[in-house]
Structure 1
Amino acid sequence: MSVALFTHPAALGHDTGHDHPECAERLRYVLRALEGQEFAPLLRELAPEASPEQLKAAHDPDYVEAILAMPRDRVTTIDGDTVFGPGTLEAALRAAGAAGAAVDAVMEGWAQAAFVAMRPPGHHAEADRAMGFCFFNNAAVAARQAQLRWGLKRVAVVDFDVHHGNGTQHIFARDAGVMYASSHQSPCFPGTGSQAETGVGNVVNVPLPPGTNGEVFREAWHMAVLPRLLAFAPEVLIVSAGFDAHAADPMAQMRLREADFVWLTRELLAVADACCQGRVVSLLEGGYDLNALAQSCAAHVRALMRL
């Protein structure tokens, strides 16, 4: 199947400083893993910058203007995790812009699926707040693109990052046209994502304890998420693809392997085939062990390519 890969060298220019886990080397490892003959069929696209209008569809306008106006000649620490430097704005704009462009690609039909290999990640960015390495919520920008440009009435965002996507939930908790489903370690940063958080019936949270292995993870998705997703029948499926639930990852204590990410990718493709002509947009979120991240991304993209 035709799969588009969106990336841009500007993503490497977001400098988070020495020893920060969300570093440019993450993306270098991912992109090296997506080289070689088996990935030659990927449709390689440069990530465009998101427009202010795209950003304001997902975020409060005043917040967007504040980020756009941040000084670019020095490093600003927004919180203990989130660092804005001279190259951050372009990287963040292109990460969000790629998310919107990936939706256009699958809706226009020249790609069956798309993978956005960009940074900074997005799912912790709330409507009016940067946090957890994130400035703009790329998944939310993608979902709003699907709603506003393409007129879709049912958009699903699923999130298998080890951390709960508090920002995505915050943005869509009152929007019945967007289903948000997340599995994540609990307790863990950011401390949200309990089963009791259900939005307007459109939010499904599956907190999993530290030490969760692939068997338990698969059963949780099989029982709690995939049936709800099928019942919702999305017209496009957006994936917050974080690989920090891998057993080797230093940021949490779940015990997944590449095969578990492949299994879930194939299950999500089956839902997309049943509901929305196979249209899947996958966005890179977390993953902080470089080798595990690279291997997991490669396995995920192979599955998107139906290899």
Structure 2
Amino acid sequence: MQDPLDNFYKQFQLFVQNNPNVISAARAASQIPESAKAVIVLSPYSLEHSFGRDWVSKSYRKTVVERPERLLASSLGLSAAITMYPALYTLKSSDTHKASLLSPHVLKVHGRDWPPELLRLCKDADAKLAAHEIEVPDSWNAGDIYLSSRTIEALQGSLGALETAVDSLFEGPSPEHVSNRAFVALRPPGHHCHVGTPSGFCLLNNAHVAIEYAKDRYGVTHAAVLDFDLHHGDGTQDICWKRAGFRPDEEDDDSPGYDEFGKKFAEFPRVGYFSMHDINSFPTESGYATKENIKNASTCIMGGHDLNIWNIHLSPWETEEEFQRLYHTKYRTLFMKADEFFKQGKLEMGALNKPFKGLVVISAGFDASEFEQTSMQRHGMNVPTSFYTTFTKDALKLAQMHCHGKVLSVLEGGYSDKALASGVFAHLIGLQNQNWIKEWGSEHVVKEIVRGCKPNWKPYKTKKARDVIRIWAEEVIKLGRAMIPEFRNLFEEPQSTKRLAITQRYTRSQVKAREPAKEIVREPAKEKPKDILKEVNPVDKPVIEPLVTPAADEHVRRRIEGIGASETVPFVQEEIPSEDENEDEDYVYDEELNKTFNRTVEDITIDDISRHLETLEIIEPKQESAQTIQNSVQGKYKIPSKTTTQHLRSTRSANPSNLDDSDISMVSHISTRKHTTRSGTKW
């Protein structure tokens, strides 16, 4: 079977040829321990969940924002981060790993009724769609949720991707390939899904299922869910009430095991939920919000009744300086509360004479981005792109203090191409504890990246020799579109052949055409981890020679050999003449931004490895002193460099010393929920 990442690695080979600065990272890649790399898990099966009501109007179809194309936009953000720090990520595809919706860890989260019911609804959906009938129950919001038989494939693949990521954190394919950080690019999202009720595009609660899997297989006892999606993760919070022993809303009042107040013993693992969100957006949107939903989205309780929940509401801001003050005085309180949760967990396990094992989970939704579409962000609340790096770096510190650095990040919301691409980019930079450079998140740069979301994207016919941004963005697009082979079938083939191509892919071995889907699960194949740069430049072969082919022009050869380096720019071989003088008439070349952007790229590819490994000294393994750890890291892993990354030091933002943790609204209340709409549309 062909490796699903083959196309990506071939494209990465071309990227290296076009950007010889990467060679310095290639030489150093073999010295980086796997635990210092972030694992990126792709979920190709997630593309199978698509809107099947072909008989609705074109205008209505445009309101469906939870769509397969979200994975393509996310992949462009992933590839942008990889081009900046190519030696710091390990890419995996869950193409061979599907998991059952009836797995024990799914049933423990969602009960024994909802997963089988979801399977039945998906199997019955195709017949209803063919008859031009709504395929979801009348009690659901049909504007938010849709189903088809192929949704089963998507959910099985998403579960497989989650398991792959958790395995990477605790087991790996081998002991030397265990990482500390993982990001899972999947859909549909999960944080609105309750114990037995779907909501807001979400059918299964991905974060809780991953935590339950980590508990069953690796003994995780405590997990903190950090949620920065624009919307309150009401489903994730609701399942935390269930874990605390409270009867879920979906259960009958006379169900056994509960006391007169509807509570029983709390379950392990203990899960704390810590969220920042817009109180005026779904599920607490004006015109839809119930009193119960508003109370739920404002609940703050720590330690009482086996609950650890803290909610913070987004505030308006005008300048980034003003937002930074909000972050340090208000939003950062989430980490203080999560720290409290973990400390209490250690005391709890100590009292039980049992080991403590923690995990930080990020519900990574990017619909609060400054680049999100206004139809989703209807109340003007957002965050700057740099926030995603800052928040993620704080999550790493929390994990390093309590969880041996273990962080699992799972894609939630984010519905415009710009929000997803820029948000994932910034989040992945933070996941490696690096600094975000403001030029990377400029409107100009983001616009160039998301050109790659066009179904039939083609490279520009004209490139200015000094237009680093446009040339770099095209490299990013090529890498992102090569990550999942099915992108080609879905987004590049004519519309009439899309469905046929997808069907053929999944029916070639066992399913007849149009036969209702069954829950067929592939066993996970033995993983062979692939480090991005190692795949291109094996450590036992020369680094430079394989990169220079006979067809390479003199420009590239001179860059690799260090000749005339100051006269050239990365990512370009020559200026390409235009065949269409009218192409991109609104394009304005920003020379100053290109110069600044080019400096960040030039610097970062020289010293990125050394700087990254210096950040590992704050990790605290068992019983070892900070000085011992620092000496170990610097002595064993640090890579010498004759240059420095000045831009990284100059753009660090200091933590204001005069800020305190105040301005917190506290409302604790036990409540139930009502159904509302997330997309803002009604059926």
Give TM-score scaled by structure 1 length. Answer: 0.92
Instruction: Say whether 1:60 aligns with 2:170.
Output: no
Q: How does 1:141-290 map to 2 (within 5 A)?
A: 141-176=209-244, 177-191=270-284, 192=293, 193-196=296-299, 198=301, 200-209=306-315, 214-215=323-324, 216-222=326-332, 224-233=333-342, 235-250=358-373, 251-252=376-377, 253-290=380-417
2:91 is matched with which residue: 44, 47, 58?
44
Q: Which moved more, 1:190-199 or 1:101-110?
A: 190-199
C-alpha separation between the residues in 2 aligned to 1:116 and 1:284? 6
Q: Is the 8 A contact 2:396 2:433 kept in 1?
A: no
Aligned length: 306
Which residue is 1:13 aligned to?
48
* Residue type at the aligned position of 2:145: T
Instruction: Say whether 1:24 aligns with 2:68.
Output: yes
Q: Which has the higher helix share?
A: 2
Q: Offset at 1:197?
A: 5.5
* Residue type at the aligned position of 1:232: F
Identical-residue share of aligned pairs (%): 32
C-alpha separation between the residues in 2 aligned to 1:210 and 1:297? 23
Q: Is the 8 A contact 1:156 1:238 kept in 2?
A: yes
- Deviation string 1:245-267 (CA, Å, 9 cap, x unpaired) is 11221312222111011110001
Q: Is the 8 A contact 1:26 1:288 kept in 2?
A: yes
C-alpha separation between the residues in 1 aligned to 2:155 and 2:98? 8
* Residue type at the aligned position of 2:312: V
- Deviation string 1:262-299 (CA, Å, 9 cap, x unpaired) is 11000110111111111000000001121121111011
Q: Is the 8 A contact 2:230 2:277 kept in 1?
A: yes
Which residue is 1:84 aligned to?
147
* Residue type at the aligned position of 1:202: N
SS in 1 for 2:126: coil
Q: Is the 8 A contact 2:367 2:414 kept in 1?
A: yes
Which has more radius of gyration?
Answer: 2
Instruction: Say whether 1:294 aligns with 2:421.
Output: yes
- Deviation string 1:170-227 (CA, Å, 9 cap, x unpaired) is 11124351111111101211123433364743111112356697332443222x3111
Instruction: Say whether 1:99 aligns with 2:145.
Output: no
Q: Is the 8 A contact 1:137 1:167 kept in 2?
A: yes
C-alpha separation between the residues in 2 aligned to 1:302 and 1:95? 23
Q: Is the 8 A contact 1:186 1:208 kept in 2?
A: yes
* Residue type at the aligned position of 1:203: I
Q: Is the 8 A contact 2:77 2:420 kept in 1?
A: no
Aligned-residue RMSD, C-alpha: 2.1
SS in 1 for 2:383: coil
C-alpha separation between the residues in 2 aligned to 1:98 and 1:39? 23
Give TM-score scaled by structure 2 length. Answer: 0.43
Residues 153 and 72 of structure 1: is their aligned pair in 2 closer, same or farther, counting only changes over 3 Å? same
SS in 1 for 2:218: coil
C-alpha separation between the residues in 1 aligned to 2:46 and 2:148? 12
Residues 37 and 117 of structure 1: is their aligned pair in 2 closer, same or farther, counting only changes over 3 Å? same
Q: Is the 8 A contact 1:172 1:178 kept in 2?
A: yes
Instruction: Between the two structures, name the one with larger relative contact order (CA 8 Å, sep ≥ 6).
Output: 2
Q: Offset at 1:239?
A: 0.7
Q: Which has the higher strand share?
A: 1
SS in 2 for 1:61: coil
Q: Is the 8 A contact 1:183 1:205 kept in 2?
A: yes
